[in-house]
Amino acid sequence: MQGKIIIFSAPSGAGKTTIVKHLLQVNPKLAFSISACTRDKRGRTEENGKDYYFITPEDFKQKIEADEFVEWEEVYEGAFYGTLKSEIERIWKSGKHAILDVDVKGGLSIKHFYKERALAVFVKPPSVEELAKRLTARATDSASSISSRVFKAEFEMKFEDQFDEVIVNDNLQDACAKAEKLVEEFLNAEPAIV
């Protein structure tokens, strides 16, 4: 079996993480691709090798130099996030397909790298106003953080037409059902002959 990749990207608060978690529960052919990052673990619940691969900025930069990433980004000064090629290979060797929950820029980079082996899905909120309500309801961010996330979301939504599929998450149950159908069709499709 040739492994495939399913990429879910969205503005913060659109629901991509919830949809990805749902897909992992209902589809045993999928395995979550763990991202690498240079930030510290949050609280006591995050685990290295489960939530993220926590590595030092120096190690991250060495891996960039060695071309070990499919995609990477310096999100804030000194704060790097990326997808290791070895992580995708690990999942494929286990006989599963990789599913990723990444930002919009990262999702497009991964699609560009893997081409027909990847399905890039953009999860979109019904409106920017609804997105702001969801972020506020989370009660995890300050008003200024929500404002900057909404601003970034407006920018990210301009890229939706570069994705293979778009899911409007106005009803989570419907969005999950559509995601299940898209993933199943993609995994069952014959690979394109290149």
pLDDT tens-digit readout, 95-115? 999 999 998 999 999 999 999
Contact predicate 83/102, CB 8 Å: yes
**Position 59, amino acid:** D
The rounded percent of the chain whose pLDDT value lies above 90 is: 64
Distance CA 92, CA 127 (A): 36
pLDDT, mean of residues 183-190: 92
Model-level pTM greater than 0.85?
yes
Q: State the average pLDDT for the chain.
A: 90
Contact predicate 9/106, CB 8 Å: yes
Contacts (Cβ under 8 Å, ≥6 apart) of 141: 135, 149
What digits encode the pLDDT tens for the residues 46-60? 889 988 999 999 999
What values do phi and psi take at 72, rounded to 5? -155, 160
